[in-house]
C-alpha cells in the first residue's frame, strides 16, 4: 500500500518538478494555459468563426444551415435593408430595414439607460457617502436590485405592467402614456424595459461613483468652506472634476453592458416587440434559421461596441494627458 | 472625518431665529434659509427615503401578489393584496379618487409558496438545484483557473505580459451574442469523442453547455480581482515558503491564496451571483426541461409561459429564487462592493 501511494505521489510530483526547473517565462505560460484554453474555446475561436460564418450564404431549408462563400454580401444586405429577417413592428409600415430598427433600439436603450442610471447612481452615491446610522442597511437595500437575477427583474416588471393585476399600466394610461396592452406595443415595452433596467443597474453606477467620491481628499472641502464656497460650488468645482475619471469608467462599463441587452427583453415583452441587436441574432438563428445573417449581425454588434469602447478610451486618455 | 460637514443638533439650535409668530410652513422655510445645513439634511432624508422606497417596493409588491388567493388576483392594489375591503375616497380640489383599505383581507395565504414545488405543475426545486450546481461548479472552475492566471499577471515579469492581459480585457468587452452562433453549433454537434461520457455525444442539454461558456465569460473579472490581491503579498513570504521546500505552485496554494482569502472570497461571491443570475446562455443551451439541467430561469419562465394566469405562482417562485442572492448580498456586501469597484478600476 505504502509503495503504491509513494509511486502515485511521485507520478504527481514529476510534472511539478519539471515545472520547477523551467524559466519564469515558461512557468508563466504554463500557468496561463488553462485560462487561455477556456477563453480560446468559448470566446476567441467563436469570434473568428462568427466572422467566417458571416461570409457564407444562408440556407434556410437545406440540411446544413450554412452554404458557400458569398463574401461581404450579408453585410451589404443588412446595411441596405435587403436582408430577409423576421418582420418587426417598431415601424408599423415595415419600411424601415430591420437592422436599422435594432440598431436604433439598442443605441437608444444604451444612451437613455446610461444617462438615467448615471444621474440616479450619482444621487445614491452622494447619499451613501454620508455618515449616518443604518448606512450599512441602506447600502444593502440599494445594492440588492443589482444582485437579483435578470429573469426575476423581468418577472417583477412583467407583473407590474400586466394589465390584469399590475398597477403600472393603469397609472401610465391615466397620464396618457400607454395604450391598452403595453407589453404588446413596441414603444410602451421599450419604456418598461428601460425603467426595469434603470431600477436594477443604477446601483452599479452608484458603487463605482462612490469609490470615486471616497478617494476625494476631504481637506479640499475644508478649504472651500473657508473660502466661502456654497455646497453647489463645492460639488461643481471639487467633487465633479475629481470623480470624472471614475464616472467615465463606470459609464463605459454600463454602455457595453446595455448594448448586450437580451434577457430582460426576452422575458418581458419578447424579442419580436423590442428588437435589440442581440435579440436579432437569436431570432435569426431560431426563428428563420439564417445563421449567416445572424453571424453578420453578431459581428456588427461586436464592431459597434468596439467602436464605442475606443471612443471612451480615447476620451479618458485625452483627459489624463490634459491633467498631467 | 465628516463631523465638520454635519454640525450636531446643538449647532443647529444656536443659529435658529427667535420664535416669531409665523405659520408652520413659513417658519420652516425661514429656518431653512437661515440655516442651509438644515435644508441639506432635509434633502438628504428625502433622497434616502426615495431610494429606499424605489428599490424595495417591487419586492414588497411581489409578496402581495404571492399571498393573494387566485380568485382575487385581478383585485390587487398598489399596497394591499387582492380581496382587501376598500372604500372610494375622493380627494377634494384634485378630484382624484383613492381606494382606501377599510379592513383586513380575509383569504390571504401562503399556498402559492408550496404549490410552486408541486411536481405536477413545475418542480421548481429541481430548477433551483440545477442553478446551484451550475453556479457552484462554475465558481470552483473560475477560482482555480483565475488563481493561476492572477498569480502570473500579479507577480511574474515575463515577455508578452501586457499584450496577454489586454487580450483578457478585450474578450470581456464582446457581447455573448458575438460568440453564440459557433458555440451553439459546437454544443449541438454530436462528437464521437464524447459518446462514452454523454448519451448522444452532444453538450446541448448538459450542465457543461452552460457552465463552460459562463466560466469563460466571467473569468476576466476574477482574474483582475485576484491579480490585485496576489500582487500585494510581500515577496519575502513567498521566498520563505520556497526555502522551506515547497514548489512554486505549492507556494501559490499554501501561502499566497490563503493570505488573499478576502480577495478569493470576493471573486467567488461575485462569480456565483453572476452565474446564478445569467440569462443569455442559461436560456439558450438547454430545452428548458429540469431533467436536462435547465436552470432556475427556465422554471420561472414555465410559470409565465405555460400557465398564463398563475401570477401568484410567478411571484412566489421569484421570491424563493431571489432569497439565496439576497442573503449573499447581506452577508457579503463589503466583498461585493470592493470586488465590483476593484474590477472596474483595474480595467
- What is the average pLDDT across A46-68? 83
- B73 and B210 share a domain? no
Contact B212 A278 (CB under 8 A): no
Whether A188 and A182 have beta carbons less than 8 Å apart is answered as yes
* Residues B103, B109, B112: CA angle, nearest 5 degrees: 140
- What is the average pLDDT across A5-20? 71
A39 interface with B at CB cutoff 8 Å: yes
Q: What is the per-residue pLDDT for B95?
A: 63
Provide the angle, in degrees to the nearest 10, between the axes of the packed helices B311-331 and B124-155.
Answer: 30
Integer Rg of chain A from CA: 26
Q: Where are the alpha helices (DSSP H) in chain A?
A: 2-21, 24-39, 45-54, 73-80, 98-128, 135-147, 150-160, 168-174, 186-214, 219-226, 231-234, 240-258, 263-267, 277-282, 291-323
Q: What is the per-residue pLDDT for A88?
A: 46
Looking at this predicted complex, what is its ipTM? 0.86
What's the N-to-C CA distance of chain A in angstroms? Answer: 68
Q: What is the per-residue pLDDT for A92?
A: 47
> B332 in a domain, yes or no?
yes
Higher per-residue confidence, A19 vs A145: A145
- B242 and B300 share a domain? yes
Cell matching residue B60: 414588497
Q: What is the per-residue pLDDT for A117?
A: 94
- pLDDT band of residue B337 (cuts 50, 70, 90) is confident
> B109 in a domain, yes or no?
no
Q: What is the per-residue pLDDT for B198?
A: 64
Whether B217 and A84 have beta carbons less than 8 Å apart is answered as no
What is residue A293's three-state secondary structure?
helix
Question: A91 CA to chain B: closest CA distance, Å?
Answer: 24
Q: What is the per-residue pLDDT for B307?
A: 57
Least confident of A6-20, A85-99, A266-280, B41-55: A85-99
Q: Strand pairing partners for B96?
A: B91
Cα distance between residue B170 and residue B164, in whole Å:
10
Cα distance between residue A221 and residue A238, in whole Å:
8
Q: What is the per-residue pLDDT for A98?
A: 72
Q: What is the per-residue pLDDT for B12?
A: 45
Q: What is the per-residue pLDDT for B201?
A: 66
- The structural domain count of chain B equals 2
- pLDDT band of residue B57 (cuts 50, 70, 90) is very high
- B126 and B262 share a domain? yes
Burial A144-165, CB ≥16 within 10 A → b, else e: bbbbbbbbbbbbbbbbbbbbeb
User: Is the model's pLDDT at B10 over the cut of 70?
Assistant: no
Range of the domain at B69: 3-101
Q: What is the per-residue pLDDT for B1?
A: 41
Of the residues B101, B134, B164, which one is the last residue of a structural domain? B101
> B210 in a domain, yes or no?
yes
Of the residues B101, B131, B166, which one is the last residue of a structural domain? B101
- B36 and B86 share a domain? yes
Contact A147 B247 (CB under 8 A): no
Which domain CATH number covers B151? 1.10.3720.10
Cα distance between residue B302 and residue B324, in whole Å:
20
- What is the average pLDDT across B328-337? 86
Q: Does the domain spanning A80-323 belong to CATH 1.10.3720.10?
A: yes
Whether A212 and A243 have beta carbons less than 8 Å apart is answered as yes
B289 interface with A at CB cutoff 8 Å: no
pTM attached to this predicted model: 0.86
Q: How many CA atoms lie within 13 A of A18 on its CB side?
A: 7
User: Is the model's pLDDT at B139 over the cut of 90?
Assistant: yes
Cα distance between residue B216 and residue A233, in whole Å:
46
Cα distance between residue B316 and residue A53, in whole Å:
43
Of the residues B48, B77, B101, which one is the last residue of a structural domain? B101
User: Is the model's pLDDT at A290 over the cut of 90?
Assistant: no
**Of the candidates A174, A170, A147, A148, which has an alpha carbon nearest to the alpha carbon of residue A160?**
A170
Domains of chain A by residue range: 1-54, 80-323
- pLDDT band of residue A67 (cuts 50, 70, 90) is confident
Cell matching residue A200: 436594477
- B85 and B208 share a domain? no
By percentage, how much of chain A surpasses pLDDT 70? 90
B310 interface with A at CB cutoff 8 Å: no
Cα distance between residue B141 and residue B145, in whole Å:
6
pLDDT digits over B244-275, tens only? Answer: 888 888 888 888 999 888 889 989 999 999 99
Which residue matches cell numbers 482574474? B223
> B106 in a domain, yes or no?
no
Question: B151 CA to chain A: closest CA distance, Å?
Answer: 9
- pLDDT band of residue A131 (cuts 50, 70, 90) is confident
Cα distance between residue B15 and residue B35, in whole Å:
7
- B130 and B78 share a domain? no
Give chain B's mean pLDDT: 82
- B179 and B126 share a domain? yes
Whether A120 and B54 have beta carbons less than 8 Å apart is answered as no
- B241 and B128 share a domain? yes
Cell matching residue A86: 423576421
DSSP symbols for B247-277: -HHHHIIIIIHHHTHHHHHHHHHHHHHHHHH
Cα distance between residue A227 and residue A216, in whole Å:
18
Q: Which of B17-21, B172-176, B214-218, B242-246 has the highest mean pLDDT?
A: B214-218
> B258 in a domain, yes or no?
yes
- A 58-117 residues with CB < 8 A to B: none
- B85 and B197 share a domain? no
Q: What is the per-residue pLDDT for B194?
A: 66
- B258 and B282 share a domain? yes
E-state strands within chain B:
86-91, 96-101
Spacing of C-alpha B301 from chain mean position: 19
Whether A258 and A114 have beta carbons less than 8 Å apart is answered as yes
- B221 and B84 share a domain? no
User: Is the model's pLDDT at A242 over the cut of 60?
Assistant: yes
- Sequence-distant (≥ 6) Cβ neighbours of residue B307 within 8 angstroms: B121, B313
A145 interface with B at CB cutoff 8 Å: yes
- B172 and B311 share a domain? yes
DSSP symbols for A116-133: HHHHHHHHHHHHHTS--T
Amino acid at each position: 500500500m505504502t509503495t503504491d501511494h509513494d509511486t502515485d505521489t511521485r507520478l504527481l510530483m514529476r510534472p511539478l518538478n519539471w515545472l520547477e526547473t523551467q524559466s519564469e517565462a515558461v512557468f508563466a505560460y504554463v500557468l496561463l494555459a488553462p485560462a487561455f484554453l477556456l477563453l480560446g474555446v468559448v470566446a476567441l475561436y467563436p469570434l473568428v468563426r462568427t466572422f467566417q460564418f458571416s461570409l457564407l450564404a444562408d440556407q434556410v431549408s437545406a440540411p446544413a444551415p450554412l452554404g458557400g462563400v458569398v463574401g461581404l454580401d450579408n453585410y451589404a444586405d443588412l446595411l441596405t435593408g435587403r436582408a430577409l429577417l423576421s418582420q418587426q413592428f417598431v415601424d408599423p409600415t415595415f419600411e424601415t430595414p430591420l437592422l436599422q430598427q435594432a440598431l436604433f433600439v439598442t443605441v437608444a436603450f444604451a444612451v437613455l439607460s446610461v444617462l438615467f442610471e448615471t444621474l440616479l447612481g450619482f444621487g445614491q452615491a452622494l447619499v451613501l457617502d454620508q455618515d449616518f446610522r443604518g448606512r450599512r442597511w441602506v447600502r444593502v437595500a440599494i445594492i440588492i436590485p443589482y444582485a437579483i437575477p435578470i429573469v426575476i427583474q423581468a418577472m417583477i416588471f412583467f407583473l407590474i405592467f400586466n394589465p390584469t393585476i399590475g398597477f403600472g399600466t393603469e397609472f401610465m394610461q391615466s397620464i396618457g402614456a400607454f395604450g391598452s396592452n403595453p407589453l404588446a406595443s413596441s414603444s410602451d415595452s421599450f419604456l418598461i424595459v428601460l425603467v426595469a433596467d434603470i431600477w436594477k443597474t443604477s446601483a452599479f453606477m452608484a458603487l463605482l461613483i462612490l469609490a470615486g467620491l471616497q478617494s476625494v481628499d476631504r481637506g479640499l472641502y475644508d478649504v472651500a468652506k473657508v473660502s466661502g464656497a456654497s455646497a453647489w460650488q463645492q460639488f461643481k468645482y471639487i467633487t465633479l472634476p475629481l470623480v470624472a475619471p471614475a464616472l467615465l469608467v463606470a459609464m463605459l462599463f454600463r454602455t457595453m453592458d446595455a448594448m448586450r441587452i437580451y434577457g430582460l427583453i426576452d422575458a418581458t415583452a419578447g424579442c419580436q416587440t423590442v428588437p435589440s441587436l442581440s435579440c436579432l441574432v437569436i431570432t435569426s438563428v431560431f426563428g428563420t434559421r439564417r445563421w449567416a445573417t445572424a453571424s453578420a449581425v453578431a459581428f456588427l454588434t461586436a464592431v459597434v461596441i468596439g467602436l464605442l469602447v475606443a471612443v471612451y478610451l480615447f476620451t479618458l486618455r485625452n483627459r489624463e494627458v490634459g491633467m498631467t | 472625518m465628516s463631523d465638520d460637514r454635519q454640525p450636531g443638533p446643538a449647532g443647529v439650535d444656536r443659529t435658529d431665529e427667535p420664535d416669531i409668530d409665523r405659520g408652520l410652513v413659513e417658519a420652516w422655510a425661514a429656518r431653512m434659509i437661515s440655516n442651509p445645513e438644515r435644508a441639506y439634511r432635509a434633502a438628504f432624508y428625502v433622497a434616502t427615503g426615495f431610494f429606499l422606497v424605489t428599490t424595495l417596493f417591487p419586492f414588497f409588491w411581489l409578496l402581495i401578489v404571492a399571498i393573494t388567493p387566485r380568485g382575487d388576483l385581478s383585485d390587487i392594489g398598489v399596497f394591499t393584496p387582492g380581496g382587501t375591503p376598500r372604500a372610494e375616497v375622493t380627494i377634494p380640489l384634485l378630484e382624484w379618487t383613492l381606494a382606501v383599505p377599510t379592513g383586513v383581507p380575509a383569504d390571504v395565504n401562503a399556498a402559492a409558496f408550496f404549490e410552486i414545488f408541486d411536481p405536477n405543475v413545475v418542480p421548481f426545486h429541481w430548477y433551483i438545484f440545477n442553478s446551484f450546481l451550475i453556479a457552484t461548479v462554475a465558481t470552483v472552475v473560475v477560482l482555480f483557473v483565475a488563481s493561476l492566471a492572477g498569480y502570473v499577471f500579479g507577480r511574474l515579469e515575463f515577455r508578452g505580459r501586457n499584450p496577454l492581459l489586454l487580450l483578457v480585457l478585450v474578450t470581456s468587452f464582446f457581447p455573448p451574442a458575438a460568440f453564440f452562433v459557433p458555440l451553439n453549433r459546437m454544443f449541438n454537434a454530436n462528437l464521437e469523442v464524447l459518446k462514452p461520457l454523454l448519451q448522444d455525444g452532444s453538450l446541448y442539454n448538459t450542465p457543461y453547455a452552460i457552465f463552460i461558456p459562463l466560466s469563460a465569460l466571467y473569468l476576466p473579472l476574477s482574474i483582475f480581482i485576484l491579480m490585485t490581491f496576489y500582487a500585494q503579498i510581500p515577496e519575502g513570504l513567498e521566498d520563505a515558503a520556497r526555502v522551506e521546500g515547497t514548489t512554486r505552485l505549492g507556494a501559490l496554494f499554501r501561502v499566497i491564496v490563503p493570505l488573499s482569502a478576502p480577495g478569493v472570497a470576493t471573486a467567488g461571491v461575485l462569480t456565483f451571483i453572476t452565474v446564478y443570475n445569467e440569462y443569455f446562455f442559461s436560456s439558450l443551451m438547454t430545452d428548458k426541461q429540469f431533467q436536462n439541467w435547465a436552470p432556475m430561469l427556465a422554471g420561472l419562465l414555465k410559470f409565465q409561459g405555460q400557465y398564463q394566469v398563475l401570477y401568484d405562482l410567478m411571484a412566489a417562485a421569484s421570491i424563493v429564487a431571489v432569497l439565496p442572492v439576497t442573503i449573499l448580498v447581506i452577508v457579503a456586501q463589503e466583498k461585493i462592493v470592493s470586488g465590483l469597484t476593484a474590477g472596474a478600476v483595474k480595467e
